[in-house]
Homo-oligomer: A and B are copies of this chain.
Amino acid sequence: MGVTTPAGFRAAGLAIGIKDGSVPDLAVVSTDDGRPVNAAGVFTSNLAAAAPVQVSRAHLATTGGRAAAVVLNSGNANAATGETGRRDARRMAELTAAGLGCAPEEVLVCSTGLIGFYLPAQCLETGIPAAVGALASSEEAGVAAARAIMTTDTRMKTTDVDGGGFRIGGMAKGAAMLAPNMATMLAVLTTDAAVEAGDLAAALGRAVAGSFNEMTLDGATSTNDTVLVLASGRAGPAPLVRLEEALGQACEDLSAQMAADAEGGTRVATIRVTGARSQAEAAAGARKVAESQLVQCSLHGGDPYWGRIVSELGSAGIGFDIDRVSVAYGGHVVCRAGVAAEHDRAAVSAHLQGVKVEVSADLGLGPGAARIVTRDLTADYILENERTS
């Protein structure tokens, strides 16, 4: 299940003491023979990128897109930890490589948890060899790995996609993750398709753009956000277009699970902006609406207050003419040409009380369209985030 579904991969997840008690906090995903395969990654654009992000980027650059394993920990982001943090991240790769018999540069590293704390080095020295020793290609092993990377997630997140002749598996963690307020999101994908490293990187980039990026992975990203893919090649070559489609499907599945698990959220809302002067302006407008605390409050209350949508669009720094704007909830137009429109109030109200809400705005200015997913703002979200300890 998840990362162990495609042929050629093993996984493990255990508790090594980074978190308190016996909560799983370390995962390893590796090829079944410990030899490197083609790999690619998409990383946070945050300039405060955590040590594991810096190390993984460097490793992929050194190998030209090859990796034998990914080692991941939860409970500590190893971010804002300076040279000590980079040394610890490299040590995680070394320990994994030593167990597998590969080069340290062939191991990628991910961390998630609190920022600003050094990793407990002793846990790693004993824990990583134990995890490498526990690697297995079973379903259970895939599940164990997915569980070990959870932080505030309430549910484990895995995906399995049958590409027709090849398979894609994946695991992810992430919640409360909607820009600009996400905690870290991590995802590791595996496939048994044979694909060149460059093609794999391009396909992953496009898959991420159409899924995770429509929630989080751009301007406002956390210090640790990472999406990785390893391709074992065991199923032989796959048509690139099919591979990209399947990767996109896996990423969309995982991102939908994350949105549904947003901390404290009770509704998931898809904000669509059409009719913008450009795709970039549509995306900026959709993001401005999605990030608005007032809009998120309205979503929580199920309140059809479209004035807030219009106000956010008018101050989004994009082309905007109020006389051309229309707004709809669940397809019911509530504002047309910038003023209130007659509509079926009961239908709008019923739609807004649901767990999946659709908000659409058309700017009437051009062909630009974009969508972004957000959630409502709740007291539970505040409770979950007001204290880290």
Contacts and interface: CB of A to CB of B under 8 A. Distances in A.
Interface of A: 44-49, 77, 79-82, 84-85, 114-118, 176, 180-181, 219-223, 288, 291-294, 297-298, 300-301, 303, 305-308, 310-315, 317, 320-323, 325, 335, 337-340, 377-379, 381-383, 385-389
A388 B298 CA distance: 8
B48 A320 contact: yes
B385 A297 contact: yes
Chain A contact residues: helix, strand, loop or mixed: loop
B219 A117 contact: no
A193 B220 CA distance: 47
Q: Count identical subunits in the complex.
A: 2
Contact of A49 (B312, B314, B340, B387): B314
B338 A307 contact: no
B84 A307 contact: no
Contact of A116 (B310, B320, B323, B382): B310
Contacts of A338: 48, 80, 82
10 contacts: A47-B314, A48-B314, A80-B310, A82-B337, A219-B317, A222-B311, A293-B377, A298-B388, A300-B382, A303-B387
B315 A221 contact: yes
B382 A335 contact: no
Contacts of A181: 292-294
A48 B115 CA distance: 39
Given A335-B80, A379-B382, A388-B303, A48 B293 contact: no
Given A80-B335, A82-B338, A181-B292, 18 more contacts: A45-B315, A46-B314, A48-B320, A79-B310, A80-B340, A82-B322, A82-B339, A115-B307, A116-B305, A180-B288, A180-B292, A181-B293, A181-B294, A223-B307, A294-B385, A300-B382, A377-B382, A379-B383
